[in-house]
Structure 1
Amino acid sequence: MTMIAQSQIKNRLLRRFPEDAFELLAPLLEPVDLPMKRLLVRPRMPIEHVYFLESGVASMVAESADGKSAEIRHIGREGIAGYPVVLGVDRTPNSIFMQVAGYGLQVATPEFVPILEHAEVRQLLLRYVHTCELQLAHSALAAAKFTMHQRLARWLLMCHDRIGGNDLPLTHELLALMLGVRRAGVTNELHILEGMHAIKSTRGNVRVLDRNMLIEIAGGCYGVPEQEYERLIETSAQPPIPPVHLNDKSPSQHSLNGRP
């Protein structure tokens, strides 16, 4: 099998791997088509593979005990599906499925876990998990403090970040899952954004006409997690996190050093 060159990788996280770590991982990466609705992580089942998305968008979905569900975050070429294994977790109650078809690189979890012993890889992926937590936090903030059309603008911006071009192949069913509302409610919110000339909605597709308008509409519920990703992942190499010595009482020794 031809080994994949790091310079050919589109996944933004994988491109940041140290060269020596990527050389160890490259023979284990398997290209895979990811059609719409393909399950990448099954709830409460062992995470068998980690996926580095090269295109398309995956949705992480939380489901209540009585079957209610809502999308809680997006995963695209900025990250990985199956990231709980970075934290030593072998399964999760949440599911991840492809919302927009694409392709990616998969690696079996037992083969991926040893790569985490590489200090720079572990640091990079823990920083990525931090940005995931921020995205979750801002989803909760958006749901609590922002209007429905602001929340829709945020989700559309997040999809736009992860999909090349201005056409977002999103069905009303998926948009309803994003917002946690019925499909009829989605139609009303799309009409609001169309009236502001930010988008054009047709069956199974939303075209972004004015991204800056969407950002203005979303207000403060979009941007903070994205800026943190740029700061921690995409800027020039970050200095390593210094080790914490429990017997060292100097506060300065415990500070953490803190986007593409």
Structure 2
Amino acid sequence: MTFVRQSGIQNKLLRRFPEDAFDLLAPKLEPIDLPVKHSLVLARKPIEHVCFIESGLASMVAESADGKSVEIRHIGREGIAGYPVLLGVDRTPNSVFMQVPGHGLQVATENFAPILEHAEVRKLLLRYVHTCELQLAHTALAAAKFNTHQRLSRWLLMCHDRLDGNDLALTHEFLALMLGVRRAGVTDELHILEGMHAIRSTRGNVRILDMLIEIAGGCYGVPEQEYDRLIGDRARRPVLPVHLIGNAHHRML
């Protein structure tokens, strides 16, 4: 396999790998298409691969004993699916699957384990785990202390951080999973944000216009700042005012 140079990699963690560590890992990385609903981690099943997401958006979902489920965090090009293996865990009750299609670079778990012996890689990936835990903590904070349209604004901003452009291919089913509400409740909350001129919602798509950061308030920003501080290279794209949309090239660098 001819492997793309590290400078062509979109995944933020792989871009931060020391050159010698990346050279060791690169021959073991396999390009993979990631269609909608593709499973990256199955609940309570051995984690066979770690996937560095290059594009698209994955959901980590928690499910109760009686079958209720809710999304607890996003994974995009800033991270990896299967990160419990970094902590010596071979399986998890949570599942991870694609919500927005894309592609990635996966490596078999047994081939990934040796790279963790590299001190700088281990430090980088443990910092990433810290940011994952912080994102989970702020999901709980948002659910307990913020209203639904603020929480929706937070999730939309998190999606926007991980996807190209201002049009987000998000279904009502996905938004309901994010918020832990019924689909009818999602429609109501989207109408609230449309009334604030923050978004434009059509079937299967949400266009980001303006003001979502102000609407989300304190439930968005702390985990993102911590990622920037510890890992960097995330280059969060600004939410452009509506009059600038379409006149600029939007891409996470």
With normalisation by structure 2, the TM-score equals: 0.92
For 2:30 and 2:79, how far apart are their aligned partners in 1?
A: 16
For 1:115 and 1:4, how far apart are their aligned partners in 2?
A: 19
For 1:3 and 1:157, how far apart are their aligned partners in 2?
A: 32
For 1:167 and 1:90, how far apart are their aligned partners in 2?
A: 36
The 3-state SS of whatever aligns with 1:55 is strand
For 2:201 and 2:13, how far apart are their aligned partners in 1?
A: 31
Which residue of the partner structure matches residue 38 of structure 1?
A: 38
Matches within 5 A, 1:135-154: 135-154=135-154
Q: Which runs of 5+ in 1 are unaligned?
A: 236-259
Which residue of the partner structure matches residue 214 of structure 1?
A: 212
Which residue of the partner structure matches residue 23 of structure 2?
A: 23
The 3-state SS of whatever aligns with 1:13 is helix
Task: For 2:229, give the aligned amino acid.
Answer: R
The 3-state SS of whatever aligns with 1:181 is coil
For 1:89 and 1:114, how far apart are their aligned partners in 2?
A: 15
TM-fit CA distance, 1:4? 2.6
For 1:137 and 1:3, how far apart are their aligned partners in 2?
A: 37
For 1:227 and 1:80, how far apart are their aligned partners in 2?
A: 19
C-alpha offsets along residues 138-174 of structure 1, whole Å, 9 cap, x if unaligned? 0000000000000000000000000010010000000
For 1:140 and 1:104, how far apart are their aligned partners in 2?
A: 29
Which residue of the partner structure matches residue 163 of structure 1?
A: 163
For 2:115 and 2:77, how far apart are their aligned partners in 1?
A: 20
Which residue of the partner structure matches residue 226 of structure 2?
A: 228
User: Among the aligned pairs, what percent are the same residue?
Assistant: 82
TM-fit CA distance, 1:5? 1.2
C-alpha offsets along residues 40-97 of structure 1, whole Å, 9 cap, x if unaligned? 0000000000000000000000000000000000000000000000000000000000
Q: Which runs of 4+ in 1 moved over 6 A?
A: none
The 3-state SS of whatever aligns with 1:96 is strand
Q: Which runs of 5+ in 2 are unaligned?
A: 234-252
Matches within 5 A, 1:47-58: 47-58=47-58
For 2:4 and 2:51, how far apart are their aligned partners in 1?
A: 15
Count, aligned residues:
234
With normalisation by structure 1, the TM-score equals: 0.89
For 1:14 and 1:86, how far apart are their aligned partners in 2?
A: 15
Matches within 5 A, 1:1-260: 1-210=1-210, 213-234=211-232
TM-fit CA distance, 1:3? 2.3
For 2:114 and 2:167, how far apart are their aligned partners in 1?
A: 39
C-alpha offsets along residues 215-245 of structure 1, whole Å, 9 cap, x if unaligned? 000000000000000000016xxxxxxxxxx
C-alpha offsets along residues 156-203 of structure 1, whole Å, 9 cap, x if unaligned? 000000001001000000000000000000000000000000000000
For 2:6 and 2:22, how far apart are their aligned partners in 1?
A: 7
The 3-state SS of whatever aligns with 1:101 is strand
For 1:75 and 1:60, how far apart are their aligned partners in 2?
A: 7
C-alpha offsets along residues 113-153 of structure 1, whole Å, 9 cap, x if unaligned? 11000000000000000000000000000000000000000
